[in-house]
A and B are shown apart, each in its own frame.
Chain A
Amino acid sequence: MSSVQFVFDNKTYHGNNGEPLSAALLRNHIKVVTESSYLFRPRGVFGLGYEEPNALVQIDSGSGEPMVPSTKIELVDGLEVRSLAGVGDLPTRKDEARYDKKYKHVDVLIIGAGLSGLKALEKYSKNNKKVMVIDDQPSAGGFIGDLNQEIPKKLMNCLKLKNVVHLQRTTAIGLYDQNYVVAVERRTDHLNSKIDKNTARIRTWHIRAKEIVLATGAMQRVLVFPNNDRPGILLSHAAATYLDKYRVGTFKNAVVFTVDDYGYEDALRINKTGTKVKAIVDVRQNISKSLEQKIKKANIELILGSKIIDTKADFNGCLNTVVIKTETENREIDADLLAISGGWTPTVHLATFLNLKPIWDEKIQAFKMPNLPKGLTSTGWANGEFEKVENRTALYFGELNLNQDEISFVDLQRDATLRDLKRAVGAGLSSIEHIKRYTTIGTAHDQGKTSGTTTMGLLSALINKKPYEVGTLTFRPPYVTFPFSAFAGRELGILTDPIRTTPIHDEHLKNNAPMEDVGQWKRPWYFPLEKENMHEAVLRECKAARNDVAIMDASTLGKIDIQGPDAAIFLDRIYTNMFSNLKIGASRYGLMCGVDGMVFDDGVTTRLSENRFLMTTTTSGAAKVLDWLEEWLQTEWPNLNVFCTSVTEHWATIALVGPKSRNLIKKLAPELDVTNENFAFMDNKYAKVAGIPSRIARISFSGELAYEINIESWYAKELWKEIFKQGKEFNLTSYGTETMHVLRAEKGFVIVGQETDGTQTPQDLGMDWIVSKKKDFIGKRSFRRSDTAKTDRHHLVGLLPIDKTKLLPEGAYIVIKDTFKNKSKNSHIGYVTSSYTSDVLQRTFALAMVANGRNKMGQIIEVPIGNDLIQAEIVDSVFYDKENRHRDG
């Protein structure tokens, strides 16, 4: 092993390449790694793996990462870390590393490459099955590896078989239905402390397996006694491994506190390394003669039937004395290491993610793997199959009756103590799930990996129940924490979500238009001239549309090509109004409802030929409407011969709006007869516009004379530029979505999704005129339901603030006049849906949904905003050109 340099809290140290950072910290005598989160007590390395509750660090080198257990960081040259007390920092610099995802289907997935996992591998890899083995440690071997013992070659060789995919440093973080596993593989951090831009730092694996073998091993438990949190108190397996395998030295004198035979094995290992084990304290009264002999031979004092009741610390807060209560006396032993063996708990987390309950096993005094469904098995320690021990593990959860000033920690990371647990029970709680939330035990970064079973044990003792009656805590994925960037993979920045732009988009950018997000679409919001703010720009754009001519890119509207001999019948059923009587070449506005009679979408549909219609939908409703059409065709009316295709992006639409639009279109398309007689409202004509074949429609969403030019998308940008050139003499003005909204609101045209939220009927919107009495259509029957037929439902109305300059906020509540201040009940009668300042009205105005609003015309209502009450008059929802005189220019 080569020596490398690393930095901890701004000081440089040396360690062995590849060893756990926790081992290097211990060898460098950094016993105090951090302070605890709430009580600020010194804390040091406690465990060996992901169970570590104390020694978390912030990694500053490479990509940086907050709250990483030092036990799971492999030492590399240049590693920089610092201590943290309970709270990490998200790195603020941009992470230059790459993250990736992979999908894998295998016959068998083995989780854990310890002895049991490898034995399973030997069995499953035989028949040329596709097998995958994942393990979260740097190398295979698990517990045996910790003991520094060799795994049989025969087993290790199986990892190299052609039909086996073998990944180390890969942690299964979730197990889901149908044997679906998500695992994260750390691929570069152990190679270099700097970012390797060419290799994915973390790869997230999505694995589907016909069979899964859980060989996840077990974790050692804490023992609860006063001051059980001092640096120098470690889980015995961790302590023995640091001293024996990693040769950290560090400790001179040790005491082992145990409830099982594993503590003895660890004591012997520790004693071998030169750290003197002065005593083994066992809560059990008797142990087998052979074990006793072994301990005697190693010259270790054995103190049976005793327990540790306190510890003392030096001026650094590190352990220096252990207080033992034997049957006859209280004794103190000087020790800088206290290795505790509280029994082993099978690592059952993954199985419990499937909502399976772990089973209490009397023999091992622990919860073990639940009964597993088909395709899922467990083996080895995870299954509670521990090596045969001579003496039964004691179920010991500490001294329950404490003196007032004694603190026994149950969950080290949360600083949650036995006293907290007793207080929770005293408050009347007995459910483990309630206790967890009351005490926060098991809710820290380590998710109670070491403290879970102890908590259940203590609780069972406190409420006089058996552990299996108390049950286990609910574990939830992910099993360990890992960076969000691993989930994101490559879906970052521009790849986060598709961005849809119209073919004219570049021109809008050139004209400095800020963009509005409409679903995935980018639409120009307004086109500010120099120094103009949004308000000024919108008023200018509105004025141009009402007085001269203005131009808008309407290409984002959803377009669905509907073809087939039954297309007209189909539309009659989908829309509330008739389409089968529409003339070829004509357009009609249509409204569609759900079966509940609530408005679902709207748009103009044009009959292109006898059996072909072009439907337009709202920009954000396009996909939803296509789904809707296909659902009815496939699941209700398969006998209708109709086909629907989305053509949103095939066609671009440019709207010329305003009284002078006729002059402009005449100039652009000289062959077109633009008289009202020959090209009436809602008619379509084919002509070349600036030389480009177009379909021109007389559709207006502003109330003004307007021509919508529909061309193939390829031509849209050129046409837009050409129109601008030729429109100069008309002072052609471009406008965006905001002006579009103001113009339509002045005319009282609703926007589905703004005036509506799925609870409005056409009648609520004052659109009774569009509901056919002659035919059935989706939702029609619902209009007769008692609730929808009520005449005092919320109606669409207009609002005119009494103060012409006051703008009502959209979404604001409307209350009955003079009721708000005295807090009378039922004063709330509606809400504002749209609100703007109008150039043509020279004032503010709004649309609103008001209870029984149509019958309250002229009434004054109030809108409370902060401490202000804005008064407004209820008026008709059409503010401008009620007689539609402007429609024809």
Chain B
Amino acid sequence: MLLINCPWCGSRDETEFHYGSQAHIGYPENPENLTDQQWAEYIFFRDNPKGWFAERWFHSAGCRKWFNIWRNTLTHEFGPSYKPFTKQPSRPK
């Protein structure tokens, strides 16, 4: 069970959170102007890196706030977490 650092609450047990997939995928400005390919990219396609990955998490059984956090998909190590619409901390080394 991982400890996840919620930027509002601090470290809490993984069971309090919901995973929210890749961070920084914005809802397209004007979906109607997108080609099928572009729209499919938005709905279906996500990165799957080996290593550091900026993810969204939802503190659903806690403060019920969404936030972003760096996580290493290889080592399960967590990097810095940050609130939505704030500056993204640089990728951990």
Task: Produce 1/0 per residue, B52-67, CB < 8 A to A.
Answer: 0000101010001110
Contacts of A177 in B (CB 8 A): 2, 75-77
Task: Assess the B84–A635 pair: CB atoms within 8 A.
Answer: yes
Cβ-defined partner of B32 (8 Å) among A208, A373, A776, A785: A776
B45 at the interface (CB under 8 A from A): no
CB distance from B12 to the nearest CB of A (A): 12
Specify which chain A residues have a CB less than 8 angstroms from the CB of B77 in the assembled complex: 177
How many B residues, CB 8 Å from partner? 28
- Provide the residues of chain B in CB contact with A636, threshold 8 Å: 26-27
B43 proximity list for chain A (CB < 8 A): 595-596, 782
Contact present for B56 and A785 (CB under 8 Å):
no
Please name all residues of chain A whose beta carbon is closer than 8 Å to the beta carbon of B31 when the two chains form the complex: 776, 780-781
* CB under 8 Å from chain A, chain B span 65-93: 65-66, 75-77, 84-85
Task: State the Cβ distance, B86 to closest chain A Cβ, in Å.
Answer: 11
Q: Determine if B85 and A638 form an interchain contact, defined as CB atoms under 8 angstroms apart.
A: yes
- Partner pick for B39 among A208, A635, A776, A785, CB 8 A cutoff: A785
Interface of A is mostly: mixed
- Asked if B20 is at the interface (CB within 8 A of a chain A CB), the reply is yes
A625-661 contacts to B, CB under 8 A, are 627, 630-631, 634-636, 638
Known contacts A178-B3, A776-B32; A627/B39 CB under 8 A: no
> Is the pair B20, A781 in contact by a Cβ cutoff of 8 Å?
no
> When chains A and B are docked, how far (Å) is the Cα of A176 from the Cα of B1?
7
Report yes or no: B1 in contact with A595, Cβ–Cβ below 8 A: no
Q: Which residue of B lies closest to A177 (CB)?
A: B76
* Per-position 1/0 for B13-33, Cβ under 8 A of A: 000001010000011100110
Name the contact of A634 in the complex, choosing from B65, B75, B76 (C-beta under 8 A).
B65
A786 interface contact, C-beta 8 A: yes
Given A595-B42, A596-B43, residue A785 in contact with residue B36 (CB < 8 A): yes
**Residues B84 and A638 in contact, CB atoms below 8 Å apart:** yes
Q: How far is the CA of A403 from the CA of B56 in the complex (A)?
A: 63
Chain B, Cβ-Cβ closest to A180? B1
Residues of B within 8 Å of A638, CB to CB, are 84-85
Assess the B27–A208 pair: CB atoms within 8 A.
no
From B3, B36, B56, B60, contact of A786 by CB (8 A):
B36
**Complex formed: what's the CA distance from A630 to B27 in Å?**
15
A634 touches B66 (CB 8 A): yes
- Does A635 lie within 8 Å of B1, measured CB to CB? no
Q: Are B32 and A631 in contact (CB under 8 A)?
A: no
Interface residue ranges of A712-743 to B (CB < 8 Å): none
Interface residue count on the A side (C-beta < 8 Å): 23
Bound CA–CA A780/B27 (angstroms): 12
- Could you say which residues of chain B place their CB within 8 Å of the CB of A437? none
Chain A residue at minimum C-beta to C-beta distance from B60: A627
Chain B residues with CB under 8 Å of A180's CB are: 1-3
Is A129 engaged at the interface, CB distance under 8 Å to the other chain?
Answer: no
- Interface assignment of A784: CB less than 8 Å from any CB of chain B: yes
Question: Which residues does chain B contribute within 8 Å of A176, judged by CB atoms?
Answer: 1
A633 closest partner in B (C-beta): B66
For the complex, what is the distance from the CA of A180 to the CA of B36, rounded to whole Å? 45
Residues of A within 8 A of B18 (CB): 627
CB distance from A683 to the nearest CB of B (A): 34
How far does the alpha carbon of A627 sit from the alpha carbon of B3 in the complex, in Å? 22
Q: How far is the CB of B88 from chain A (nearest CB, A)?
A: 14
Chain B residues contacting A782 (CB-CB under 8 Å) are: 39, 43
Closest chain B residue to A176 by CB distance? B1
Contact across chains for A781 and B32 when beta carbons are under 8 A apart: yes
Residue among B2, B27, B75 having the largest count of chain A Cβ atoms under 10 Å: B27
Nearest CB in chain A: distance from B3 CB, A: 6
In angstroms, how far is the closest chain B Cβ from the Cβ of A205?
13
B64 adjacent to A635 (CB under 8 Å)? no
* Interface 1/0 per residue, A779-801 and B, CB below 8 Å: 01110111000000000000000
Chain A neighbourhood of B28, CB < 8 A: 781
Query: With a CB–CB cut-off of 8 A, which chain B residues contact A627?
Result: 18, 58, 60
Closest to B28 in A: A781
| Min CB gap B2→A, angstroms | 6
A200–B29 alpha-carbon span in the complex (Å): 58
B65 nearest CB neighbor, chain A only:
A634
Q: Which residues of B are found within 8 Å of A595, using beta-carbon distances?
A: 27, 42-43
Residues on B with beta carbons closer than 8 Å to the beta carbon of A631: 20, 58, 66
Q: What is the CB-to-nearest-CB distance from B66 to chain A, in angstroms, rounded to a whole number?
A: 5
A183 CB to nearest B CB, Å: 14
A785 CB → nearest B CB, Å? 6
How many angstroms between the C-alpha atoms of A69 and B72 in the bound complex?
A: 40
Q: Closest CB-CB distance, B7 to chain A, in whole Å? A: 13
A178 in contact with B64 given A635-B56, A638-B84, A780-B31 (CB within 8 Å):
no
Q: Chain A contacts of B3 at CB under 8 A?
A: 178, 180, 208
Question: Which A residues are in CB contact (< 8 Å) with B32?
Answer: 776, 780-781
Assembly CA distance A501 to B80 (angstroms):
42
**Which one of A206, A635, A780 contacts B66 once the chains associate, using CB atoms below 8 Å?**
A635
B34 interface hit (Cβ, 8 Å): yes
**How many angstroms between the C-alpha atoms of A405 and B58 in the bound complex?**
64
> In the complex, what residues of A have CB within 8 A of residue B40's CB?
785
CB distance from A635 to the nearest CB of B (A): 5
Q: Please determine whether B39 and A781 come into contact, CB atoms closer than 8 angstroms.
A: yes
Measured between beta carbons, the chain A residues less than 8 angstroms from B1 are 176, 180, 206
Which residues from A are CB-within-8-Å of B26?
Answer: 636
> Whole-angstrom distance between the alpha carbons of A217 and B36 in the complex?
61
Inter-chain contacts of B58 with A (CB < 8 A): 627, 631
Distance (whole angstroms) from the CB of B37 to the closest CB of chain A: 10
Mask: chain A, 163-184; 1 = CB below 8 Å from B; 0 = not: 0000000000000111010000
Complex Cα spacing A595 to B58, Å: 19
A180 to B42, CA, bound (A): 36
The residue of chain B having its C-beta at the shortest distance from the C-beta of A785 within the complex is: B36
Query: How far does the Cβ of B85 sit from chain A's closest Cβ, in whole Å?
Result: 6
User: In the complex the two chains form, what is the Cα distance from A178 to B13 in whole Å?
Assistant: 11
Among residues of B, the one whose C-beta sits closest to the C-beta of A596 is B43
- Nearest to A373 among chain B residues (CB) is B75
Contacts of B84 in A (CB 8 A): 634-635, 638
Q: From residue A621, how far is it (CB to closest CB) to chain B in Å?
A: 15
A781 B66 Cβ-Cβ under 8 A: no
Contact with B along A218-234 (1 / 0, CB 8 A): 00000000000000000
Binary interface encoding of chain A residues 574-598 relative to chain B, with 1 for a CB under 8 A from any of its CBs, else 0:
0000000000000000000001100
**B85 to chain A: which residues have CB within 8 Å?**
638
| A373, B84: Cα distance in complex, Å | 31
**Interface positions of B from 33 to 51, Cβ below 8 Å from A:** 34, 36, 39-40, 42-44
Nearest residue (CB) in A for B23 is A635
Nearest-CB distance from B53 to chain A (Å)? 15
* Least CB distance, A642 to chain B, in whole angstroms: 14
| Nearest chain A CB to B80 CB, angstrom units | 15
- Chain A residues closer than 8 Å to B76, beta-carbon distance: 177-178
Q: How near does chain B come to A628, taking the closest CB pair, in angstroms?
A: 11
Rounded to whole angstroms, the CA-CA distance of A786 and B40 in the bound complex is 11
Please give the distance in Å from B21's CB to the nearest CB on chain A.
11
Chain B residues lying within 8 Å of A206, measured Cβ to Cβ, are: 1
Expressed in whole angstroms, the Cα–Cα distance for A631 and B44 within the complex equals: 18
Contacts of A784 in B (CB 8 A): 36
Docked pose: A542 CA to B50 CA in angstroms: 58
Chain B residue with Cβ nearest A777: B31
Shortest Cβ-Cβ A-B pairs, 6 listed: A781-B31, A177-B76, A634-B66, A636-B27, A635-B66, A595-B43
User: Can you name 5 extra interface pairs (CB under 8 A) apart from A636-B26, A638-B85, A780-B32?
Assistant: A176-B1, A596-B43, A634-B84, A776-B31, A782-B39
26 pairs, CB–CB < 8 Å, chain A vs chain B: A176-B1, A177-B2, A177-B75, A180-B2, A180-B3, A595-B27, A595-B42, A595-B43, A596-B43, A627-B18, A627-B60, A631-B20, A631-B58, A634-B65, A635-B56, A635-B66, A635-B84, A636-B26, A638-B84, A638-B85, A781-B31, A781-B34, A781-B39, A784-B36, A785-B36, A786-B36
On B, residues with C-beta under 8 Å from A are 1-3, 18, 20, 26-28, 31-32, 34, 36, 39-40, 42-44, 56, 58, 60, 64-66, 75-77, 84-85
